[in-house]
Amino acid sequence: MSSTGEFTVKDLNKIDEIPWQKISRDHVVYNYYIPSNPVISDGYSYEIIIDLNSNRYWVKVMGGIAGTENLYGPDIIQ
């Protein structure tokens, strides 16, 4: 987290896959679309997976020109 309190996925470790076997059955998934520019349609969407038992979360970032997918986490919700 930056000194201004803003969060970026650069604050998290990049991972190869989300460890679904380690995430409790009590989890939620949130999806967000944040356009990089209102005129350009190749913005990024963010999927946030939160394990409600451990307060850990992971982030999946999808989109861009080449349609990339990157995974980050875990971290603890504080």
Q: DSSP H helical segments within 1-78, as ranges? A: none
pTM of the entire predicted model:
0.72
Q: Note whether 31 and 47 are within 8 A (CB).
A: yes
- How distant, in Å, are the alpha carbons of 13, 22, 26, 37 from that of 34? 21, 28, 26, 9
Residue 21: per-residue pLDDT: 84
DSSP 10: G
Low-confidence ranges of the chain (pLDDT < 50): 1-4
Residue 27: per-residue pLDDT: 84
